[in-house]
Every structure is written in C-alpha cells, then in structure tokens.
A and B are shown apart, each in its own frame.
Chain A
Amino acid sequence: MSIEVNNIKFSYGRIQALDGVDLSLPGGAVGLLGPNGAGKSTLIRILLGFLVPDEGDGDIFGFDIRTRQTDIRRLIGYMPEDDCLIPGMDAVSFTSYLGELSGMPRQEAMKRAHEVLYYVGLEESRYRLLQTYSSGMKQRLKLAQALVHDPQLLFLDEPTSGLDPQGRKEILELILDISSKKNIQILISSHILSDIELTCSYVVILDKGRIASRGEIDALRRMDYSLYELRIKGGKETFLQDLNGFGYQIEEMEDGLIRIYVPSDRTPRDILETAVGRDVQIRHFVRSRSSLEDLFAKVVGAD
C-alpha cells in the first residue's frame, strides 16, 4: 500500500474537518470524492505535510507523514487546485526551477522541463511569460511541474477545473496514460464525478470529515443496493410514501422517471407488490447500471 493513514483527526478551530479517517490505498488511480467541506483538500494537505494532524498517524511509501515529510516529497508530485506561478518566468524556467528544487541536477532539470512541457502540449508556448497564459495552459503547466521530477505518486487537486471540453478531454487522457501505462500512482481529488469515473478504478468518498464509502468502483456499484428506474401511472404519492416507509431511497427525475435504490434486504418484487396494493400501473421497469453519481448521491445523501 502506498498510502496508509490511521484515525486522522484535524480541526480548523471548532470545525472538525477530518474525524478519524482510516485509509489504506492501493496502487493505480484513486479518486477522492466528496461534497464541499468534506475534508478532501485537508486530507491531501496532511499527506503533503502542509498541515499536522491533531491526532492519528500515517505513512506514504513507508515514510511517516509527521516526521519524514522531506523524504515523502521527493517521491510525490503535487498539482494544486489554485492557479500558481512565479511571475517573470517562462514555462521552461519555471518547470526546470521546480525540478531543481526537487533535487534534480540543473542541466537535467532543464532537459526534463522541455520533455514534460512537450508531453502536456505546451511545447509551442514554453518560452512565453506565465502571466500571459490562459487558464487551460496554467492547468497543463501545473501538471508539467508535478511531473518534472518523475514522481512515484501524483496528487491532483481538481485537475480539470477551468478547462474547456477539449482541454478537459486531453488532461483526462494524460491522467489515464500516466496512471495506466507509466506506473505512476495517482490520487485525484475532484468534484466532477465523471472525471473520477473515467480515470479511477478505486474511489474514496468523504463526507463531513469521515469516510462514507470506499472501494473498487465496480464493486461499490454492486454493493448494498440496486438501482431501478420506473414510470408509473396513478397514485404516485401514496405509492412512493409506502416505498419510503419500507426504506427505499427514491429520486424523482424531471421527465417523470423514478429512480429507486433497493436496499440489500429488499427485492424488486416488493416494489411490484406495493404497486399492486396501491393500484398503480407500472409502465416502465428496468434495472439501471448505477453510475458513480448514483453511488455518491446514495452515500452522501446529496441530490
């Protein structure tokens, strides 16, 4: 396991940002999901050593996150969410500078800066001043600086924010390429569920500072509930009230579609029996393949 943390607690004054987080992450690409304020960024900042946890311990590649931060930072690359640059520099000097700060020899850092800038698609504008870069270019640049020293683990904080659809697609392609073919582990924090679904095989869902769910995305889809979609005619309110009473979670879509999460101790047959009991016609009834969004809504209770 590359990352392991036990009972991590952290508070900002009275606000408990992380409340006993235990994690043991596998290799590959891992998605960190959660609504705003769930504690995703706080967790990443603790792993980077920016914040010291109030309680708990952990290690990355066997190095203690409290005492061996310098060793950890040699092995990781970090792409922050905010725009960050050093004014007066162009992309090549910026990237090679950060490579040098990571411990690369000067000449090697310069050579490598050209390579990674080429890789992220900034080869044409690598000598332009960073202040003149668009949001999409800054996003690519942040990825380049995170990759320059060839880390073993990448922390990507909202990697596609501020990108147009084409730029987003290209960055996601890069992330997929890095995680699947280049043997670099990735931890992606994002609120864009489809990005996580596309790039990650394992997901950790945080809610209110606690881990709400975690596991392989495919396994999570199968766990605990199954999702059915149906359309009905007549007696909708009483029918849905009854299902709610039985512990089903229900979502009503705008187009009249009803999505029902069936708990593991119930069967879809119960839905049909309830409909018969309430004299409701079922016009459409299919089992749906649950998406990460469904899982997220189910776990976090968000719309």
Chain B
Amino acid sequence: MSIKEKGYTHWDGELESRRFPWSPIMRSGIRLTFKKKFFKLFFFLNLIPAVVYLAGIYISERLEDFEFMIREASMPFKVNPAYFNSFLSGDYLLFMIVMILVFAGAGLIADDLKHNSLQLYFSRPLKKRDYFMGKTSIVFFFLLIVTLVPGLVLFLMKLIFAGNFKFIQDYPWLPLSIIGYSVLLTAFFACYALFLSALSRNSRYVAVMTFGMYLFSDILYAIFNGIFRKPAFALMSIKANLQQIGAAFFGVKLPYDVPWMYSFVLLVLFCGVAVIFLSRRVRGVEVVR
C-alpha cells in the first residue's frame, strides 16, 4: 500500500495551554535517565547515608536496647541540628550527588546541542524559560529525593521514635533549615549541571567536567591551604563552600574560618553567570554574527 492510500486524518482535539508547559520535559527526562545503565544502582547508593542516619536516630532513642554495644562509653553522637547538617553536607552525600549529575545532568543540554533538537523544542509553544524549567526540574527531582525527602523523613522519624514533641520544641526552625539547605544545594547543583552541559556537545566530556571540576576545586584548596595555611582558600572548593553554608543554615560552628556569607555570594555569583551563559547559548538556531 502506498503512503498516500493510508490517508491523513485531522486531529479533532484541542491543544491545551498548560500551567506548566515544561512538565513533559521533566517526565521524559526522568524516564530516560532511569533507562541509563547503572543509574538505578548509583541512585539507590545515594540513599545509604539516609539509612545510616536513620539507624543513628533509632539507636539514640532506644539506647537501652543497645547498651551491650555502647557499654560504659557515653552516647557517641547526639541528634541535633549538627546531626542533620552532617547528613546533608557530608562528604559522601555531596560526592554521590555529583555522581547523580554525571548520569542525569551531563546530557541535559549537550545531547540537544549534539542532535540539533533545540529547534524541535523551540518550534513548539515553549519559551526559553520553559525549556530551562523542564531541564532544571529533572535535576531537582533526583537531588531532592536524596536530600530533602530523607532530611524530612529523618526529622519525622526522630519525633516518632521519641514519642514526644520535645525535639521540635527545642528546634522549631529545623524543618525550615532542612528545606532551605536542600533547595539551595539542589539549585546550585542544577545551575552547575546545566552550565557544564551547555559547554560542550559531547555529554561524555561534560560528565568528566562535572566530576573533575568538583574534585579539582577541592584538590586546589588542599594544595593552597597546605602551602599558605590560610583558611580563605576554602572559597576555592565547591564542597567547602557548600559545607560552610550548610553550617550557617543549621546554626553550627563553621568548618572553615571564613565568613559563610562569602561562600554564599560566590555560589550565587556562579549561578548568575551560569544563567546568563545559558540564556545566550541555548537558542532555537545558532547565530554567528
């Protein structure tokens, strides 16, 4: 049968004006990321800290059950804001977040640049901001699942295991700190991932850059700090800056002897540069003037 004989029928539905026109981008991005090899494994490895910290909360509340383990020693940890801070800005979790970005973030824009698909997006009733919202929401989805969700679950479990509201009376602002820091962490990493993803058409290079830049900034800090012994070099490290802000959010002692505001301004500046770069780089068509 020739094509012509198959016939073309008009669609009798009506196009919707969605409140969130970017939602299909998010849905499809999440589905495609889960299809990637080993991603599920890495993603669930991210939940290990949450399980460990949950066990810690349980032990702290059921101390009498674990006396045989602790014996004479005092309780090795205390569940307080510092405990939540160490969960959310711990080295392991930050490292694993970067690993998620390697899988879920590297190809977000790089693949669209490589396969010329930006023109397909922008020939639809989508604005540039919808495109970015869609791509950003993919990073938000994965990162909030490993930061905000376990953070709030840990808080709730602490209340449940304690069987009273003393903890929330002592730290009524803690849920807000968990939400605020998780969102800030996620927003920064979303800008970081999208910025790097727009730098190259090759998602493998982007994956290497995502991992390399995070590691390299920390190594650089270690080298300069080793030579000059000045804590201000912590500002060179992505991890150190995030940990500074985390400590400020949870009201605990800053890990580096630098005002946390400096770290905050640095990260906000980085995000600002990333947004400007992205809005110039991402177009329906490349224009060389």
Cβ-defined partner of A50 (8 Å) among B35, B126, B284? B284
Q: Would you give the shortest CB distance from B112 to chain A, in whole angstroms?
A: 8
Say which size band chain B's interface belongs to.
Answer: 35 or more
Cβ-defined partner of B32 (8 Å) among A45, A82, A88, A178? A88
Closest to A84 in B: B116
Whether A50 pairs with B122 at a CB distance below 8 angstroms is: yes
Within 8 A of A (CB), among B116-145: 116-117, 119-127
- A88-116 Cβ-contact flags toward B at 8 Å (1 or 0): 11000100011011111110100010011
Closest to B13 in A: A108
Whether B115 pairs with A150 at a CB distance below 8 angstroms is: no
Which residues from B are CB-within-8-Å of A118?
6
- Quick one: given A88-B32, A97-B28, are A48 and B8 in contact (CB under 8 Å)? no
Say which size band chain A's interface belongs to.
Answer: 35 or more
- Quick one: given A73-B124, A88-B35, A102-B125, are A147 and B8 in contact (CB under 8 Å)? yes
- Asked if A170 CB lies within 8 Å of chain B CBs, one says yes
Within 8 A of A (CB), among B127-167: 127
Whether B17 pairs with A82 at a CB distance below 8 angstroms is: no
Cβ-defined partner of A98 (8 Å) among B21, B112, B124? B124
Closest to B23 in A: A100
Whether A97 pairs with B3 at a CB distance below 8 angstroms is: no
Which residues from B are CB-within-8-Å of A70?
125-127
Closest to B124 in A: A101
Which residues from B are CB-within-8-Å of A87?
107, 111, 115
- Asked if B11 CB lies within 8 Å of chain A CBs, one says yes
Whether A119 pairs with B7 at a CB distance below 8 angstroms is: yes
Whether A101 pairs with B126 at a CB distance below 8 angstroms is: yes
Cβ-defined partner of B283 (8 Å) among A11, A50, A105? A50
The answer for the CA separation of A182 and B4 in the assembled complex, in Å, is 12
Closest to B14 in A: A103
Within 8 A of B (CB), among A234-273: none
- Asked if A223 CB lies within 8 Å of chain B CBs, one says no
Whether B16 pairs with A84 at a CB distance below 8 angstroms is: no
The answer for the CA separation of A71 and B15 in the assembled complex, in Å, is 11
- Asked if B289 CB lies within 8 Å of chain A CBs, one says yes
**B→A interface (CB under 8 Å):** 2-4, 6-11, 13, 15-18, 21, 24-25, 28, 32, 35-36, 107, 111-112, 115-117, 119-127, 283-285, 287-289
6 tightest A-B CB contacts, nearest first? A103-B15, A50-B284, A78-B123, A150-B11, A84-B116, A100-B24
